[in-house]
Amino acid sequence: MDARRLKIRKGRITGNALIVLGVILVIVGLLMPYYKIPQRLTGIGPKGDFSQRRPYWVSTYITPPIDKGTPINLNLLSDKPGATAVLLAPFDPQMQMIEAPPVINTVFGPNQNGLVAFAAAIKSAPYMLMITSYNSSFQFQLDSVWSPFYELRASTTFGLATIPLGLAIIYYDGIVEKRERMFEEALKGIRKDPRH
């Protein structure tokens, strides 16, 4: 009997734990992406090799959403002058395309191998940095303010799935407990019956 009670208790504990976990995941997924602090995105490239058939590479980097009016600072250095083009623009993740107008859109001059740009976000959106390098390599640093927890939005989905699972386990555990009580009562009745 003790083993059965322990089993019931484990079911309730598991169900309650899943409900609490689900609520936490929903709260984290809904609130944490709104917490924004200064962030830095860095990179080097390109990731591929150049050839006669492919003399250039296009490298793209996407930031989490940046609020309209927030400063964006970009520092980029190329190993060859006049061999880099840079585009920074709002990005629509649903349409998978950049939106006009761009914040930065420049092609390095014949003697230019670096860029230091100070701009502001023209709208609240993710931003795509697109660097086209022609037989050259680069390194960059982009500073602005966004949420380091933006990817946690997906935890809301897991939380919403976990809560019903916890409720189902508690409900099933209640059914099992009710059956076991009925079985106990039946056994007590048999023991008390003087004919047995």
Straight-line distance from the first to the last Cα atom of the chain, in angstroms, rounded to the nearest whole number: 22
Six-digit token pair at 80? 């060859």
Q: Edge-to-edge strands of the sheet including 71-78?
A: 37-45, 138-146, 71-78, 114-120
pTM: 0.71
Is there a contact between 121 and 76 (Cβ–Cβ < 8 Å)? no
- Give the integer Cα–Cα distance in Å for 32 and 55: 43
Contacts 24+ apart (CB under 8 A), 119-122: 119/71, 119/72, 119/73, 119/74, 119/88, 120/69, 120/70, 120/71, 120/72, 121/66, 121/67, 121/68, 121/69, 121/70, 121/72, 121/90, 122/68, 122/90
The rounded mean pLDDT for the chain is: 86
Higher pLDDT, 133 or 52: 133
Sequence letter at residue 190? I
Six-digit token pair at 154? 């997906």
Q: Which of 68-82, 142-156, 165-179 has the highest mean pLDDT?
A: 68-82
pLDDT level of residue 99 (50, 70, 90 thresholds): very high
pLDDT level of residue 196 (50, 70, 90 thresholds): low
Give me the pLDDT at residue 9, please: 59
Q: Is the pLDDT at 157 greater than 60, yes or no?
A: yes
pLDDT level of residue 1 (50, 70, 90 thresholds): very low
Q: Is the pLDDT at 8 greater than 60, yes or no?
A: no
Average pLDDT over every residue of 124-128: 96
Q: Which of 7-21, 161-175, 179-193 has the highest mean pLDDT?
A: 161-175
Q: Is the pLDDT at 94 greater than 60, yes or no?
A: yes
Among positive and negative, which fits the CA dihedral 65, 68, 28, 23? negative
Is there a contact between 76 and 131 (Cβ–Cβ < 8 Å)? yes
Average pLDDT over every residue of 31-59: 88
Higher pLDDT, 151 or 38: 38
Is there a contact between 108 and 78 (Cβ–Cβ < 8 Å)? yes
- What is the number of other CB atoms lying within 10 angstroms of the CB of residue 15? 20
Give me the pLDDT at residue 69, please: 96
